[in-house]
Amino acid sequence: MASAVRNRFQKIKAGAKEKTKPSGWILPQEKGALGDEGTWTNIDMDVTPYERRTWTALTMAGFWFSDALNAQSWEAPATILAVGLTYREAIVCIIFGSLCCTVPLVLNGILGARLHVPFPVAMRASFGWYFARFAVIVRMTTALFWHAIQTYTGSTAMTQMIRAIWPSFLDIPNHIPESVGITTQQMVSHLIFWSIQFPILLTPPHKLQWFFIFKFVVVSITCVGVVIAMCKKAGGSGDIWKQEYKVDGAMRSWLILSSMSSITGGWATMATNIPDFTRYLKREQGVYWQVLFLPLIQLCLGLFGIISTSAAKVVYGEYIWDPLTLAAQWNGPSGRAGAFFVGFAWVIAQIGTNLSANVISCANDMTSLFPKYINIRRGVIIATITAAWIMVPWKIIHSAASLLSFMAGLGTFLAPIAAIMGADYWIVKKTHVDVPALYKARARYRYNEAGTNWRAVVAFLISVVPNLPGMAASVNPKLQSGIGGSRYIYDMFYIWGFTSAFVSYSVLSHFFPEPNTLIEETIPGEAAFEETSATEEKADGSDGGDEKVVVKSTDYEV
């Protein structure tokens, strides 16, 4: 036992010493089945091996329950009611906004399930070898911002857990300057939450299905419990159902459209990077269940939020949309016990959302950009340290609403990326893709010497440019008077962005096709894997038999 510990310690010490030099961070050069000779690759970017295709329709259900069950979904109706609409419009916007989002989720999800390649690789078919990196950077930046916000939200849930056990935790004296934007007590909660979240984030994606199911059970039971408890305290569900309209006419119509687009745009990241997850599916049928899962989860959680908030008005004299602020009102032995379980549920919820929507996506992006130095494990470490500490999320949360408006507007850039990827696969290439060519710098998907598909560039600009004046005005309200009718385009930024890019890319590709990229049948990547495996078996002197190929990888080493 002592010898094993000593050997382990010496190995760690030797590894740490090696990493004092840049060369010590270079990953072992794996022999890629599809990439160019001499280029760096790793299993995270290759076609997903058979033994990693472990996801089923049930896993997809758990995935969406994991992603959609978060504090932001609970509070979604609040932003709709705040602009002068009622619960009726909130319900309509949630349902149709979610349904709109399922269009790119299914289109791009099928791509991942059939080709078994991650988002950064899939983008090369439509954007070109080099321009695809632009799309990857946009998505990576968005994921980092949202990871920062979700992590800080999780730390507020941790505060409720701790204060439920030790009420004096809230009275910790502050020793941090006010200019930093966070108190000592909040920093302690943030550190504890991040420390618990960190090892869970390091779990390989193909092994996450049980965590998703665990989150679904815990958060669902807690949400139902909160609604029952608040209705019992209030003697009913309150009077929010009697609210009257505060806006009428055309203004109300535009607000409904804007709210629906905001719901759709809230899932812009997932609609773009869904191949990162569907690549692990055994069968593509699991993708179609998203059409049911997302609207249903969003609607249920939104209704829970409306009912508990309405009851809170009766009990506490004000509408409280934030479930953690609501739990903070509960004192006494039974109240603190309830606050603990609410805090625990939202801690699990925020970790699950970070896993499914932010960290793994960002890590995949880093891996594609720097395969020589970064695998998924290293990407996760870099992403969570950057988002949780370097980006100071407490300042993002407490900064002006203009910054949050800008972050919401990042969906403006993600909509055309998702649209172009979907249009290219379904309309232009008619679902036939040369998968091995996606891994070669000078194959058919390079398009030209610049490695850029000009049709994707034009479609991207057609989608984004009309939205820019409205986006600028949302960040700086002083610009409202100077943008005229263009603000209405931004009111439906995701719907316009996705539709315009999808149509324009399809039309441009029809009239100005790139013949070299159009093939009659899909060339799968699995054939290259099998060929490589057979070659390696012959080199080893083995006959192969009927055993499953085991892919050797250092993808989860640091």
Between 212 and 42, where is the model more confident?
A: 212
Two structure tokens written together for 72: 């932001």
- In the predicted structure, residue 548 carries a pLDDT above the cut 80: no
Backbone φ, ψ for residue 40 (5° rounding): -80, 140
Q: How far is it, in rounded angstroms, from Cα 231 to Cα 226?
A: 9
Q: How far is it, in rounded angstroms, from Cα 167 to Cα 488?
A: 49
What's the pLDDT score for residue 403? 52
For range 391-420, the mean pLDDT: 76
Two structure tokens written together for 281: 């599916």
In the chain, count of helices (H) and strands (E)? 26, 0
pLDDT level of residue 207 (50, 70, 90 thresholds) = confident
pLDDT level of residue 525 (50, 70, 90 thresholds) = confident
What's the pLDDT score for residue 5? 61
pLDDT tens for each residue of 73-121 = 888 887 787 778 888 888 999 999 899 999 999 999 999 999 999 999 9
What's the mean pLDDT when you consider all of the chain? 85
pTM attached to this predicted model: 0.85
Give how far Cα 53 sits from Cα of 120, 205, 209, 284, 549, Å: 19, 10, 12, 11, 13
Select from 459, 461, 466 the least CA-distant residue to 504.
Answer: 459
- In the predicted structure, residue 42 carries a pLDDT above the cut 90: no
Contact status, residue 54 vs residue 278, Cβ threshold 8 Å: no
- In the predicted structure, residue 309 carries a pLDDT above the cut 70: yes
What's the pLDDT score for residue 24? 73
Residues 363, 366, 368, CA angle at the centre, nearest 5°?
110
Residues 477, 480, 482, CA angle at the centre, nearest 5°?
135
For range 514-540, the mean pLDDT: 71
Two structure tokens written together for 424: 């290219």
- In the predicted structure, residue 139 carries a pLDDT above the cut 70: yes
What's the pLDDT score for residue 536? 47
Burial code of 95-108, b = ≥16 C-beta within 10 A, e = fewer? Answer: bbbbbbbbbbbbbb
- In the predicted structure, residue 515 carries a pLDDT above the cut 70: yes
Q: Which amino acid is present at 180?
A: V
What's the pLDDT score for residue 545? 39
What's the pLDDT score for residue 148? 92
Contact status, residue 273 vs residue 354, Cβ threshold 8 Å: no
pLDDT level of residue 546 (50, 70, 90 thresholds) = very low
- Name the CATH topology of 53-399: Hydantoin permease (1.10.4160)
pLDDT tens for each residue of 278-290 = 999 998 988 998 8
Q: Lowest mean pLDDT: which of 4-18, 93-107, 462-476?
A: 4-18
Q: How far is it, in rounded angstroms, from Cα 88 to Cα 81?
A: 10
- In the predicted structure, residue 451 carries a pLDDT above the cut 90: yes
Which secondary structure element, helix H or strand E, spans residue 557, and what is its range? none
pLDDT level of residue 293 (50, 70, 90 thresholds) = confident
- In the predicted structure, residue 552 carries a pLDDT above the cut 80: no
What's the pLDDT score for residue 4? 65
What's the pLDDT score for residue 32? 59
Between 406 and 315, where is the model more confident?
A: 315
Two structure tokens written together for 536: 């390696």
| DSSP notation for 446-509 | G-STT---HHHHHHHHHHHGGGHHHHHHHH-GGGGGGSTTHHHHHHTHHHHHHHHHHHHHHHHH
- In the predicted structure, residue 554 carries a pLDDT above the cut 50: no
**What residue spans define the domains of the chain?**
53-399
Q: Which amino acid is present at 222?
A: T
For range 47-65, the mean pLDDT: 85
pLDDT level of residue 555 (50, 70, 90 thresholds) = very low
